[in-house]
Amino acid sequence: MRPASWIGFAILCIMSSTSWAIPRGEELSVFEQQSVRYAVVGLVALLLGGYRGWSWNLGLRLGLIGMGFFGIPMAIGEWSQGAVSEISRSALFAMVPVVVVMVIAAGDDERGVRRFLAPALAGLGGLLLVLPLGFSGSIRGQLMLGVVCAAVFLAGLSSVWLYRLLRGVTLAHAVSAICLANAAFLLVCSVVRGDYVLQWSGLSSVISPASLVDVVEVVLIVWLLQEMPPLRFAARYLLIPLLTILESFLLIRPEVTVRIACGTLLLATGVGMLLFLKVGDEDTVLSLR
C-alpha cells in the first residue's frame, strides 16, 4: 500500500471517531440531509470528469453495489432505531471484517487469507467486552436485529465487490456513480418514511461543518475502497470504536476495570494484526480473482 493510502485511512478514522463532537442541524430529516449531500458530491464529481468515458453498464453496477455499502445499511440503521441501540449496531458492524474474510476465502484458493479470521474475531471479542450491549426481547426487536445482521453481511460483501470493480476506474467516475445512486435511494427512503418536506430554509443545515465532514468522508471512503485491500479497509469498523474508546479515557476518565482493559487490549491487537499482518502477495491474497 502507498503511504498516501495509510494517511487517508488515518484521516478517515480520526474524523469518524470524533464526529460526535460536531453539531448537526435538525431542519431536515436524516434521509433528506444525506440525499442532498450525496447528490451534491455526485454532481460535482460528474462535472469534474465523471462523465468522461461514462459507461452505463459500469455506472449501474457501481451504483447498485454502492447502495449496498452506503445507503442500505444507513437506511436500516435509521429504521432500526428504538429496536436496536446505536451501541449495539456499532458492535454488530464490527463483524464486517469477519464477513470480508469469509467472502474472500470462499472465492480465493489462497489459504493465507484465513489467518486473518483470528484477529478479526479477536477485535470483535474485545469490542464486545468493552461495550455495554443490550438487545430487545420483543418480536420487532429480534426481527430488526436480524435485518441489521443482514446489512452487516451486505456491507462486507459490497466492499469486496467494489474493490474488484473499481480497479482502473477514475475517482470522479466512481464517486459520481455511487453518490448519485445513493442520493436517489435515500430520497425514495425519505418519501416512503413520510418525512420528505424539502424546506428550502432547512437546506442551510447542509452547508455546515458536519456536512463538510460527511462529504470528505464519502470521497475518502470511495477512494480507499479503490486503494486499500478489503481486509485492511474493513479494519476501520474496529479501529474507529477503538479510537472512540481511547478518547473517552482521555475526556471522561471512566473507571477502568479488568474487563475494559482486557477488551481494549484485545481490540487493539486485532486491529493491529488486520492492518499489518502480511501473508504472501497482498494483492493476490486480499482480493478476489
Provide the CB-side half-sphere exposure for 70 (13 A, CA).
31
**Residue 110 in contact with residue 285, Cβ under 8 Å?**
yes
- Residue 5 in any domain: the answer is no
270 part of a folded domain: yes
Q: What is the mean pLDDT of the chain?
A: 86
Burial class (CB in 10 A: 0-12, 13-18, 19+), 149: middle
Question: What's the domain count of the chain?
Answer: 1
Decide if 228 is inside a domain: yes
Residue 15 lies in a domain: no
The position carrying cell 471512503 is 221
- Domain presence at residue 1: no
pTM assigned to the model: 0.89
In DSSP terms, 84 is beta-bridged to 135
Which residue range forms the structural domain that includes residue 106?
28-285
Is 116 among the domain residues? Answer: yes
Is 86 a member of any domain?
yes
Structural domain includes residue 72 = yes
pLDDT at site 109: 46
Q: What is the CA 123 to chain-centroid distance, rounded?
A: 17
State the Cα–Cα distance between residues 18 and 67, nearest whole angstrom. Answer: 25
| Nearest by Cα to 270 from 102, 125, 151 | 125
Residue 84 phi, psi (nearest 5): -130, 120
Render pLDDT for 69-101 as a digit per residue (tens, 0 to 9).
Answer: 999 999 999 888 888 888 888 889 999 999 999
pLDDT digits (tens, 9 = 90+) for 181-225: 999 999 999 888 777 666 655 555 567 777 788 889 999 999 999
